[in-house]
């Protein structure tokens, strides 16, 4: 099975520990988004993510590249902006409410 590569053949950059801590900190300040964040991790994480080291529930590289390119215009942003992640989670929560 071949892995999807974004245009240019570059793999999306992994989220570093500092950026991850800032994103988690921003979400931690919003308890109203915790259920949505947990659901998004559950529905976007690659199946069997716990079998690979380090075990991180990350989405598939192709999906991540698509989301980063659609949000930032490139699959290789400098860093995720915590406010963007919070806004995305708010959008996911609102869309789920509207679809009921």
pLDDT tens digits, 31-76: 999 999 999 999 999 999 999 888 888 888 888 888 888 888 877 6
% of the chain beyond a pLDDT of 70: 81
Alpha helices in the chain (DSSP H): 17-28, 34-44, 61-72, 82-98
Q: Which two tokens stand for residue 27?
A: 């979400």
C-alpha span between 81 and 26 (Å, rounded): 10
pLDDT at position 13 over 90: no
Q: Give the model's pLDDT for residue 9.
A: 46
CB 82 within 8 A of CB 25: yes
Element of type H or E holding 99: none
C-alpha span between 68 and 36 (Å, rounded): 19
pLDDT at position 4 over 70: no
The closest alpha carbon to 75, from 91, 59, 98, belongs to: 59
Average pLDDT, stretch 4-14? 47
Average pLDDT, stretch 70-98? 86
pLDDT at position 1 over 50: no
Q: Give the model's pLDDT for residue 59.
A: 87
């Amino acid at each position: 099975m071949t892995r999807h590569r974004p245009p240019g053949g570059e793999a999306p950059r992994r989220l570093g520990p500092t950026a991850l801590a800032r994103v988690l900190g921003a979400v931690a300040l919003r308890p109203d988004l915790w259920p949505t964040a947990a659901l998004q991790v559950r529905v976007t994480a690659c199946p069997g993510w716990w079998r690979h080291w380090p075990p991180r529930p990350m989405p598939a590289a192709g999906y991540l590249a698509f989301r980063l390119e659609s949000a930032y215009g490139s699959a290789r942003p400098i860093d995720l902006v915590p406010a963007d992640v919070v806004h995305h989670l708010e959008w996911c929560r609102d869309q789920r409410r509207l679809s009921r």
